[in-house]
Amino acid sequence: MGTVRVYLLDDHELVRRGLRGLFETEDGFEVVGESGSAPEAMRDIPRCRPDVALLDVRLQDGSGVEVCRELHSSMPGLRALMLTSYDDDEALFSAIMAGASGYLLKVIAGSDVLDAVRRVAAGQSLIDPALTSRVLERLRAGPAEAPALAALSEQEHKVLTLIAEGLTNRQIGAQMFLSEKTVKNYVSNILTKLDLESRTQAAVLATRLLGGSQGAAPGRRPV
């Protein structure tokens, strides 16, 4: 791919300078804008048209997650990479549901930041596996609440449960004795009914709503 256009949002000037210096010393990147506030970023990013927006989760005047959510609908091609000093399960969940493509802690090495931005710009999802594993475990242990799943059929409910377990469409088809194309249709229906855009969002939401190690929701038999 060509040069990756990057936008920086962080309310610490030294952090922004450090990130800008990191990208400017590496071929294949261009920092097209930066800001230290959420409102400024929401004005600037549509004008700068970056490929990847590197957004600080916690800001003095808002949240990078809110910036991500606001811009995601109007700029579907924008990739957001959340960067934070805090090891926060709720922020991870919120970032995924806001449409973020990645979530990284600031203790990450500079070379890994560059690699993450390249991968996100190429369309990959990049959620730190250690963070994802822990948040899913915590959400499984939380109270089960599944009103949002009421619109799903029994088959769709089972497909969603298997998505949450990390199975591919082919693996789900083999387990449910369905063709891969049929499973793909079920997945599409699930995303539409739950107003989601990706399997990652569906997996995290399902784990939160279904609760328990067996993924059984109230009012439904285990599937």
Give the tens place of pLDDT for each residue, 88-102: 666 777 777 788 888
User: Rounded to an integer, what distance in angstroms lies between the CA atom of residue 119 and that of residue 16?
Assistant: 21
Nearest Cα neighbor of 128 from 159, 165, 100 is 100
The pLDDT of residue 127: 66
Structure tokens at 107: 């203790």
Nearest Cα neighbor of 128 from 169, 78, 92 is 92
Q: Quick check: 162 and 175 in contact, CB under 8 A?
A: yes
- Give the pLDDT band (50/70/90) at residue 222: very low
The pLDDT of residue 89: 64
User: Rounded to an integer, what distance in angstroms lies between the CA atom of residue 109 and that of residue 106?
Assistant: 8
**Cα 87 to chain centroid, rounded:** 15
User: Rounded to an integer, what distance in angstroms lies between the CA atom of residue 79 and that of residue 77?
Assistant: 6
Count of C-beta atoms within a 10 Å radius of residue 98: 21
Enumerate the β-bridge partners of residue 82. Answer: 55, 103
Give the tens place of pLDDT for each residue, 121-140: 998 877 655 655 665 565 55
Q: Quick check: 116 and 125 in contact, CB under 8 A?
A: no
Q: Quick check: 170 and 182 in contact, CB under 8 A?
A: no
Is the whole model's pTM more than 0.75, yes or no? no
Name, in order, each residue with C-beta under 8 angstroms of 203's C-beta and a sequence gap of 6 or more.
163, 164, 166
**Cα 47 to chain centroid, rounded:** 23
User: Residue 216 pLDDT > 70, yes or no?
Assistant: no
